[in-house]
Amino acid sequence: MKKEVLIGVLIGLIANVFGLFLAATLLGQGDDFMNVIKAASNEGFLGKLISLGAILNLIAFFIFIKKRQDYRARGVLLITVFIAVFTFVFKLF
């Protein structure tokens, strides 16, 4: 059971990182990934970019639900909630 939740957490992290990279590439207008991240941080919308990256977690979550892999879906949901809290705290400071 713990192994399945951990797999879900890892897949959620990978999906979020890939989604962040995809969002930065698409919205960065051809700039380098690190330049987009630095500009987003300087301009105050890095939290929004991270939240856009978390959209891919929805796909992973629903795939696990459809396959009846509830513990993996729980891991993806757990990391999605963690990212939401992190983004909220990041915006406060």
Closest to 9 measured CA to CA, from 51, 49, 61: 61
Residue with tokens 């929805």: 58
Task: Answer for the pair 58, 12: CB distance below 8 angstroms, yes or no.
Answer: no
Q: Count other C-beta atoms under 10 Å from residue 20's C-beta.
A: 23
Q: Average the pLDDT over 66-80 and give the result.
A: 96
Q: What digits encode the pLDDT tens for the residues 5-54?
A: 999 999 999 999 999 999 888 888 878 889 999 988 888 888 888 888 88
pLDDT for residue 75: 97
Terminal-to-terminal C-alpha distance of the chain: 36
> For residue 57, what pLDDT band results from cuts at 50, 70 and 90?
very high
pLDDT for residue 30: 75
pLDDT for residue 14: 96
Helix (H, G, I), strand (E, B) or coil at 29: coil
